[in-house]
Amino acid sequence: MLAIIGGSGLTKLSTLELVRREVVRTPYGEPSGALMFGKLCGTQDVVFLARHGYGHTIPPHQVNYLANIWALKQAGVSEILSVASVGGIRADLGPGKLVVPDQIIDYTWGRPSTYFEGDDQVVHHIDFTHPYDEALRQRILAAAKAVSEEVVDGGVYAATQGPRLETAAEINRLERDGADVVGMTGMPEAVLAREQDLPYAAINVVANYAAGRASSEHGIAFDEIEVVLQGAMARVRTILECYCEC
């Protein structure tokens, strides 16, 4: 069963034929919302979870990532596809672009970010050289190709703490570090999925140019973001449908 974690702009999966919803409690507290079980394309079992809650009320630094991944694991999912909006740092990654990243740099702090914690736990170092599952990445790319949606193959995702956006100098620093896009939710979600042995990959939707870049030089236009996200998320849905069917 495939899990889809939807971010800003994707709090509902309109193409999902809902079968049941389940409120799950975990040893780590409550997930962002009920798990929505259903079918995509009439055949593929899917569970959907809105990362920020169904009313979009949970900010990135307060998402209970431990509970979310745990709940999906308990539900029996075999892979997780994350959909998350980002700011574009690289010049060619303007609003509306879709990116399937292949690397992460983590700038978040103070977020619970491991299941291997507690007096009874042995120290555990997981391999995170390649944070995204390559087979899953390739399937997303193939699905996008099959429906003729342009996606960028690879990119370095910088995970920032939020909820504020970055300064122009911070974006310059991220670029010097090698980051291509910036978002606030990619970590610790990706590493927790790895700790739970769940293949994880992401589709990043560029909502805006990052601070100080191109059209954002005079500040980021929030009304434009909304329009861009709506259009781009419709394209993500098309890719997801083919991901299940193709």
- What residue numbers does the annotated binding site cover? 8, 51-52, 184-185, 208-210
Contact between 68 and 58 (Cβ < 8 Å): no
- Shortest gap between Cβ of 159 and ligand HPA (angstroms)? 9
Return the number of the residue (4 or 165) whose C-beta is nearest ligand HPA. 165
**DSSP designation for 123:** P
Pairs from 216-219 (Cβ < 8 Å, separation ≥ 24): 216/87
Residue ranges for the binding site for substrate?
184, 208-210
Distance CA 36, CA 51 (A): 12
Binding mask 166-195 for ligand HPA (x = CB under 6 A): x---------------xxx-----------
Closest CB to ligand HPA among residues 165, 239: 165
SS3 187: helix
The pair phi, psi for residue 47, each rounded to 5°, is -120, 130
**Ranges of H-type helices in 37-120:** 65-74
Could you tell me the end-to-end alpha-carbon distance of the chain, in angstroms, rounded to an integer? 16
* Minimum CB distance to ligand HPA smaller for 13 or for 184: 184
Q: Are strands 2-6 and 200-209 parallel, antiparallel or unpaired?
A: unpaired
Closer to ligand HPA at the Cβ: 6 or 183?
Answer: 183
Contact 180, 93 (CB under 8 A): yes
* Cα–Cα nearest to 203, from 85, 29, 37: 85
Binding mask of the shown chain, residues 142 to 171, with x at each position contacting ligand HPA by CB under 6 A: ------------------x----xx-----
Angle 111-115-116 from CA coordinates, rounded to 5°? 110
Contacts with ligand HPA, 47-86, as mask; x by CB under 6 A: --------------------------------------xx
Q: Which residue in 207, 228, 236, 240 binds ligand HPA (CB under 6 A)?
A: 207
Instruction: Report which residue type is found at 222.
Output: F
Binding part of the chain for ligand HPA, among 67-75, 132-140, 192-200, 206-214 by CB under 6 A, reads: 206-214
Shortest Cβ 133–ligand HPA spacing (Å): 22
**Which residues carry a binding-site annotation for phosphate?**
8, 51-52, 185
Give the residue, chosen from 139, 208, 236, 240, that forms a contact with ligand HPA under the rule CB under 6 A. Answer: 208
* Count of residues of this chain found to bind ligand HPA when the rule CB under 6 A is applied: 12
With a CB cutoff of 8 Å and minimum separation 6, the contacts of 220 are 87, 165, 208, 209, 211
Residues that bind ligand HPA (CB under 6 A): 85-87, 160, 165-166, 182-184, 207-208, 210
